[in-house]
Amino acid sequence: MDNAFEIVKSSVHIKDVVEHFGVQIDRSNKGSCPFHLEKTGSFSIDTENNYYKCFGCGESGDAIDFVAKIKDISNLDAVKLLADIFNIKYDDKPKAKSAKTLVKEYVTSCVKNIDKTSFFKDRGLTPNTIKKYNLGYDVKRQSVVIPYSSNLEYYQSRSIESKAFYKPKTEDAGAEPLYNLTVFTKSKKPVFVVESPICALSIMQCGGVAVSTCGTSCWRKVVDAVVNTKFAAGVVLCFDNDDPGKAASQTLANTLFEKNIKFAVCNIAGESKDPNELLMKDPSALKENIATALKDFRVKYASDKDSFDAADMVLENLPPTTWIVNDMLPTGLSMLCAPSKLGKSWMVLQLCIAVAEGQSFLGAKTEKHECLYYALEDGKARLKDRLLKVRNGKPMPRGVHVVLKADTLETGLLERIEQELQMFPKVKLVVIDTLQKVRGKMQKTDTLYGNEYREMGAVKDFADKNKICILFVHHLRKMSDDSDVFNMISGSTALMGASDTIFIIAKKKRGDDSAVISMTGRDIEQSELVISFNKNTYSWDVEGTADEIMARRVREEYETNVYVRTIKDLVLRNPMIGWSGTASDLLRAVFDVTGKEVADSSQGVGKTISKYEYKLYCDGIEHKMSRSGSARKHTFKKKASYEPVYQRSFVGEGDE
């Protein structure tokens, strides 16, 4: 009938209605009020809003109100009268309410009666929980009512006396859903799965998120809900501590495992039958058990984005660092940088073959693995020529997989590498020669640092995820930096910042036979090796560490020095008294002993003696200097045996 009111009201004009019942309206839409006696007209109409009002007696309303007042009839009769007068047709039959509307009205009426029962309070639920989840009471049935969601379209009702359950008919409200089903589209935390809604309410009151299967036979709905909503946070199974509950929990766990859905089975009820029973006994215990279950679940499925306790990590049995070359090249992201045409490609080819054979590389032991070598600056002919030179008649080992063309990091390089890893699962080393060949386009809004760190960060994450080493070959700047060789890497500091290990090959002069390879990284100590390229074997050989080479050169310089050779010869000829003389005498002795003429001043001779005095002492020769007039006299003789001061003192006391 509400529809008839609207139809009639919108079909008539207020001026036509009042004039039909004898009220004359002038041009200013005013007239005399028919509801009280007056000399001056105070009755007016609002043609725009279809409304009337008398400013004398205060009467006002729409056309239906006017007819009801003037004819002293009900508004319903006024509607019928207006419809007859103005020939308006309408359907006066009331519309039937939908089943969902009836369910909602029923639940709403029960919510209003919640104060007439203490059932939920007796089960440990707080007034806030009762109000928040729209819990109600059916006075007629004397049953408590639990709606399944905030839209009140489904519910279950339980008789307090007989414990009988009532639910809407399927044809009225549809199939029974999970209680609190919408959490699978809203929650970011793991969801507890229990049997009864009141157990779910108990968990939610204690800080958890829960759904109820409303029985042990409806567990499949949990799987469907997780799959359909793509819920990623996982579920915690907490069915009742009875045989049916344990059986249903195991069956559901098996299915979740098969579907690769994150889950855990936890007994948060302790010795109680279910979570609600524990809530009634000890709310704090239930709250603590829920927190523990969530913590255990997080530990089980922890990712690198989750925080963890450092004390737990120290006690954790973690796998050691995985090495490709022991103490030199670990898994992760690495870079080998050198100037152009210095032999970088020869070195990485040598590395791949050494790893494939399990042979040493630059003096360090390798772990035998297969390799994937992106030789992006070579063709087959050049690569074959290099392999023949490197192997020198020996057969090429299996396990070095070569690629000559590649996508960029922007167009799918990592996806392609992943396919290769699936085909060759023993590959642990991926060499990409060179980085520049696979770089993506820099975005206009990005900085060089931001672009490089994003690219290298993605590669590092990929390498860590697959437990492999990705080694990029890269170039150095033309400008050298004697203070820090790692500042010579071409590009921004993001390349070094994102890498786990960095290798730099550099020479002081391009024509030098030897080069220095400098190494630094998160898992290795910073060090340097002096290396040289052997043109006979087409491989890099280690001459020693930089310190060793320096010490060797210093010793060689000392051993070949003409003054040192002369002094040693003079002392050897006169082991008892040694040799004494001026700088000029020593210069003449140098010629006599070595046959070499030395154009040096007395000061130059003195500086050389001072430079090598300690080394001579270490070789068993003492040096003393005295003055003879204006001349300085140098004495070299065999070093006397050392006698500590405290021993000499002790001997003196004994003699006395």
Residues 382 and 487 both lie in one domain: yes
For tokens 């997989």, name the residue. 401
Q: Check residue 654 and give its pLDDT.
A: 41
229 contacts: CB under 8 Å, gap ≥ 6: 184, 185
Q: Which DSSP state fits 640?
A: P
Residues 380 and 493 in one domain: yes
**Measured distance CA(440)–CA(468) in Å, rounded:** 22
Contact between 52 and 44 under an 8 Å Cβ cutoff? The reply is yes
Q: In what order do the strands lie in the sheet with 165-166?
A: 136-138, 143-147, 155-159, 165-166
Residue 651 domain-assigned (yes or no): no
Residues 447 and 583 in one domain: no
Write out the two tokens for 284. 């704090």
pLDDT of 443 strictly over 80: no
Contacts 24+ apart (CB under 8 A), 532-540: 533/343, 533/346, 537/390, 537/392, 538/346, 538/386, 538/389, 538/390, 539/346, 539/350, 539/390, 540/343, 540/346, 540/347, 540/350, 540/362
* pLDDT for 95: 63
pLDDT score of 482: 64
Cα gap 300→296, rounded to integer Å: 6
622 or 552: which leads in pLDDT:
622
Asked if pLDDT for residue 103 goes beyond 50, the answer is yes
Please check whether residue 516 is in contact with residue 339, taking contact to mean a CB–CB distance below 8 angstroms. no
Residues 213 and 288 in one domain: yes
580 occurs within a structural domain:
yes
* Domain assignment present for 650: no
CATH classification of the domain holding 43: 3.90.580.10
Q: In 169-242, where does DSSP find H-type helix?
A: 170-173, 183-186, 197-205, 220-229
* Residue 40: pLDDT band with limits 50, 70, 90: confident
**Token pair belonging to 47:** 């043609």
Between 386 and 602, the more confident residue is 386
> What CATH number is attached to the domain comprising 524?
3.40.50.300
Q: Are residues 478 and 439 in the same domain?
A: yes
- Run of H or E including 652: helix 645-655
Which range among 125-134, 194-203, 265-274, 637-646 shows the weakest confidence by mean pLDDT?
637-646
Is 93 part of a structural domain of the chain? no
pLDDT for the residue 655: 42
Last residue of a domain, one of 300, 331, 364: 300
Predicted confidence (pLDDT) at residue 536 exceeds the cutoff of 50? yes
State the average pLDDT for the chain.
89
Confidence (pLDDT) at 165: 87
**In terms of DSSP bridges, do strands 370-375 and 400-403 run parallel, antiparallel, or are they unpaired?**
parallel
Element (H, E) at 570: helix 562-573
Q: What is the CATH number of the domain that holds 617?
A: 1.10.10.10
Nearest 5°: phi and psi at 530? -90, 125
pLDDT band at 483 (very low <50, low <70, confident <90, very high): low
Which helix (H) or strand (E) segment holds residue 386: the answer is: helix 380-391
**pLDDT value of residue 481:** 65
Residue type, 572: L
Q: Is the pLDDT of residue 241 over 90?
A: yes
Residue 545: its pLDDT value, please? 83
Average pLDDT of span 22-47: 88
Q: Are 508 and 373 in contact (CB under 8 A)?
A: no
Higher pLDDT, 462 or 476: 462
What is the residue type of 315?
Answer: L
pLDDT for the residue numbered 74: 82
Q: For position 209, what pLDDT does the model report? A: 96
373 with 516, same domain: the answer is yes
Q: Are 368 and 451 part of one and the same domain?
A: yes
Domain of 157 in residue numbering reads as 100-300
Per-residue confidence (pLDDT) for residue 643, from 0 to 100:
61
Given this model, what pLDDT does residue 448 score?
85
Mean pLDDT, residues 4-24? 88
Tell whether the torsion through CA atoms of 519, 524, 529 and 532 is positive or negative: negative
Return the pLDDT at 646.
Answer: 55
Residue 607, in any domain of the structure: yes
Q: What is the mean predicted confidence (pLDDT) over 57-84?
A: 88
Give the pLDDT confidence score for residue 465 in this predicted structure: 92
In a domain, 312, yes or no: no
Question: Which position has the higher pLDDT, 605 or 205?
Answer: 205
Q: Are residues 578 and 513 both part of a single domain?
A: no
Euclidean distance between CA atoms 163 and 369, whole angstroms: 68
Q: Read off the pLDDT of each residue in 238-250 and give the average, rounded to a whole number.
A: 93
Is the pTM higher than 0.85? The answer reads no
Q: Is the pLDDT of residue 286 over 90?
A: yes
Distance CA 431, CA 378 (A): 14
341 and 261 belong to one structural domain: no
Percent of the chain with pLDDT over 70: 95
Higher-confidence residue of 48 and 655: namely 48
Using CA atoms of 419, 420, 423, 429 in order, give the dihedral in degrees to the nearest 10: -130
pLDDT given at position 321: 86
The 3-state DSSP class for residue 411 equals coil
Gap between the Cα atoms of 599 and 611, Å rounded: 18
CATH number of the domain that residue 247 is part of: 3.40.1360.10
**Nearest 10 degrees: Cα torsion 255, 256, 260, 263:** -160
- Per-residue confidence (pLDDT) for residue 432, from 0 to 100: 96
> Per-residue confidence at 2, pLDDT binned at 50, 70, 90?
low
Mean pLDDT of 572-600: 90
The answer on 172 and 252 residing in a single domain is yes
Same domain, 235 and 272: yes
Residue 311 counted as domain residue: no
Which single residue is written with the structure tokens 């195991």? 250
User: Is the pLDDT assigned to residue 247 strictly greater than 60?
Assistant: yes
**328 belongs to a structural domain:** yes
**Which pLDDT belongs to residue 358?**
95
Task: Provide mean pLDDT across the span 510-530.
Answer: 90
Same domain, 565 and 603: yes
Give the residue-averaged pLDDT of 219-231: 92
C-alpha to C-alpha distance for 18 and 71, rounded to whole angstroms: 12
- Domain total in the chain: 4
d(C-alpha 113, C-alpha 135), whole Å: 10
**Token digits for 173?**
């409200």
